[in-house]
């Protein structure tokens, strides 16, 4: 019996010792949970752009040496609508600021308008003008993107540059009536002529991001294109000719455009790596 008790005591002591050693062992920590890397930071980069649209143009007045010498009123001065096309390259600095430089062609718009001239109380004249106008515009623009909701980003912007304004087929059909000569008519032709002017613009619109590298824009632009002037004149009967004094002042336009932008180095869409179970 004594040997059995000794054996039981030794077994109990061994069990207690094992339990104490196990209590002193550190508890193994669970494996850390997988944390995917953060998505890429705000991205900037180069882009290409293109636009098509329609113009709605006007001018403030038509000046001439006659209009400067006598009281004159301008009637019905304006232009028909015309298409516009432009291409450009830009750089987006971050998610709210970008710039670009564009080259724009504004198609021929038919001109119409007249000056009524009051030479005296009994001497009146009217000059009815016709022709067409087109422009080449080079402009640097800056835009502020105002935030994005459901992939739609409203933006505003401004631009400054130069506009080459060309008048083609300009013609003056004149009529004058006075007590001495009665009713007389004349037709004067002008050569085609173009000139560079300072131009500026204000922009606003909405951009829709179709995918990370492709954006569609619907935009409005107010354009101030400077002045235009025809070339030398000659009367239909060649009785008079010389350099023109006519100027069309303060050409402006309200443009509506549909455009696209292609990011040249857009980041790949973020996707966390696959985790396999061991």
Q: Supply the pLDDT for residue 165.
A: 97
Burial category of 124 from C-beta neighbours within 10 Å (exposed 0-12, middle 13-18, buried 19 and up) = middle
Tokens 């207690």, residue? 16
How long is the chain?
Answer: 278
* Domain boundaries, given as residue ranges, for the chain: 54-132+151-250
Tokens of 80: 């028909």
Q: Once rounded to an integer, what is the mean pLDDT over residues 26-39?
A: 55
Largest CA distance in the chain: 160
Per-residue pLDDT of 79-113, as tens digits, reads 999 999 999 999 999 989 999 999 999 999 999 99
Asked if 30 and 220 count as a contact pair (C-beta separation under 8 A), the reply is no
The per-residue pLDDT for 28 is: 52
Residue 67: predicted pLDDT: 80
Q: What is the pLDDT of residues 141-175, one digit of tens each?
A: 999 999 999 999 999 999 999 999 999 999 999 99
pLDDT, greater one: 30 or 145: 145
Look at the block and give the residue holding tokens 């070339």: 231
Angle at 20 between CA 18 and CA 22, to 5 degrees: 70
164's CB contacts (< 8 A; 6+ apart) are 135, 136, 137, 194, 195, 196, 197
């Amino acid at each position: 019996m004594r040997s059995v008790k000794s054996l039981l005591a030794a077994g109990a002591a061994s069990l207690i010792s094992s339990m104490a050693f196990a209590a002193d062992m550190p508890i193994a920590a669970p494996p850390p949970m997988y944390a995917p890397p953060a998505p890429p930071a705000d991205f900037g980069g180069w882009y290409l752009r293109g636009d098509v649209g329609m113009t709605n143009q006007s001018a403030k007045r038509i000046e001439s040496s006659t209009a400067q010498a006598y009281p004159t009123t301008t009637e019905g001065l304006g232009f028909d609508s015309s298409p516009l096309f432009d291409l450009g390259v830009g750089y987006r600095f971050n998610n709210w600021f970008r710039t670009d430089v564009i080259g724009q062609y504004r198609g021929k718009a038919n001109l119409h308008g007249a000056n009524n001239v009051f030479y005296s109380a009994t001497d009146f004249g009217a000059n009815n003008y016709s022709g067409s106008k087109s422009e080449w515009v080079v402009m640097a623009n800056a835009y502020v993107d105002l935030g994005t909701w459901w992939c739609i980003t409203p933006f505003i912007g401004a631009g400054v540059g130069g506009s080459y304004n060309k008048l083609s087929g300009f013609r003056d059909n004149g009529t004058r009536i006075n007590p001495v000569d009665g009713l007389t008519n004349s037709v004067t032709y002008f050569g085609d002529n173009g000139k560079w002017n300072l131009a500026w613009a204000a922009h606003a619109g909405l951009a829709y991001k179709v995918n990370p590298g492709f954006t569609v824009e619907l935009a409005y632009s107010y354009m101030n294109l400077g002045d235009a002037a025809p070339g030398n004149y000659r009367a239909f009967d060649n009785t008079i000719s010389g350099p023109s004094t006519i100027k069309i002042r303060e050409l402006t336009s309200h443009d509506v455009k549909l455009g696209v932008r292609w990011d040249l180095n857009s980041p790949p869409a973020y996707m966390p790596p696959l985790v396999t179970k061991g």
